[in-house]
Amino acid sequence: MDEYEEELERKNRKPLILKISRFVVQLFFFILLGNLAWLGFSILVGYANTGFPLPIMQSHATPGGIIVGAYDVFMESFAIGIFPFLALGVFLVFGILIGRATCGWMCPFGFVLDLCHHIPVRKRHPGYQINQQLSKLKVAILILTLFIAIIYGLVRLGGGDPLPIGPFEYNAFSPIDPATTFQAVIPYFITHPELHPSIEQGIWGIFSSDLAWFWFQVIFMTIILILSTYIGRAWCRWFCPLGAVLGMMVPYAVVGVQRNLSKCLGKKCRECELACPMGVSLLREPWEKIIDSNCIMCLKCYEACKEQAITLRFLKFKPS
């Protein structure tokens, strides 16, 4: 094997190593954060929840979980009239350092959505304008849920009695969060037989009024999972309020993705755009640094680029 062939083999090996490394990291955090509760594994291990927040979708009610999602802390703290200094600090530190990389490498539910997208169905790639418009939904969800939580907190601080809004009273987001349904609601239902309908109730007992909200959560989660088999990370790119918070800091993050103009083939290729699970239009972005709020730094674009035009850039802030 001559020197050229060795160099070519080395270049082809890098994307494979990166793909395996990311899968291992995602699997590690998925297990570490207690998401094997479906198998009863966490009961055997006996993890203790530290209550330390990370900027990922992780319910504090996950059986065996040791970490809580920072957005859950935001919601629950504001709802009882406490300012979430620690959670805010976590958002700022991670966001300014690595943008939304925790979404691409650490988030357990993001890992589940990635697995769903591996199901062999015909993939869909929404156009740039559609993707940009739908991405605004997560900002709307962020504003609405924060508004509800803050109002409830202020009412409680004032000694008032806020209107009862059921499961939304102490966390305005988790009742509709598919990650919470997957990580906490379903495992809790499975491990608590007293919640199961009795034989006397028959098949209709499954759909009793007591379980109505549970089935709404399960159906909504299922829709998100099915949608994600066709459209990469549909929840993350369009609906996740945590992604909206971190996305605001992507343009200013210390670490970012850069495109080398001298190597990039531009519109003749577009392999990087087709590979992006978040629908980021890399060729529309400043070449110095990708500043789209949907960039989760998963480096799928790096894996797809045969010209090696994609690299990580450090200490390069938003282009002027």
177-205: pLDDT as tens digits: 999 999 888 888 888 777 766 545 555 45
Q: How confident is the model at residue 156 (pLDDT cuts 50, 70, 90)?
A: confident
Q: 173 and 65 share a domain?
A: yes
Task: Report the percent of the chain where pLDDT is more than 90.
Answer: 58
What residue has token string 């009695």?
161
In a domain, 267, yes or no: yes
Domain housing 284: 255-314
Residue in 49, 48, 51, 97 with CA at minimum distance from that of residue 72: 51
Q: 98 and 224 share a domain?
A: yes
How many domains are contained in the chain? 2
* Paired residues of 313 in beta bridges: 256
Residue in 297, 308, 301 with CA at minimum distance from that of residue 97: 297
- Could you read off the pLDDT of 55-112 as tens digits, one per residue? 999 887 777 667 789 999 989 999 888 999 999 999 999 999 999 999 999 999 999 9
Query: Nearest 5 degrees, angle CA 234-CA 117-CA 124?
Result: 60
Evaluate the CA torsion angle 92, 94, 100, 102 in order and state its sign: negative
Q: 121 and 236 share a domain?
A: yes
In a domain, 233, yes or no: yes
Q: 77 and 163 share a domain?
A: yes
Structure tokens at 240: 């996740």
Q: 228 and 278 share a domain?
A: no
Q: How far apart are CA 99 and CA 133, in angstroms?
A: 21
Q: 229 and 259 share a domain?
A: no
Q: 282 and 139 share a domain?
A: no
In a domain, 199, yes or no: no
Q: How far apart are CA 95 and CA 310, in angstroms?
A: 21
Q: 143 and 285 share a domain?
A: no
Q: What is the pLDDT of residue 160?
A: 72
The secondary element (H helix, E strand) that includes residue 184 is none
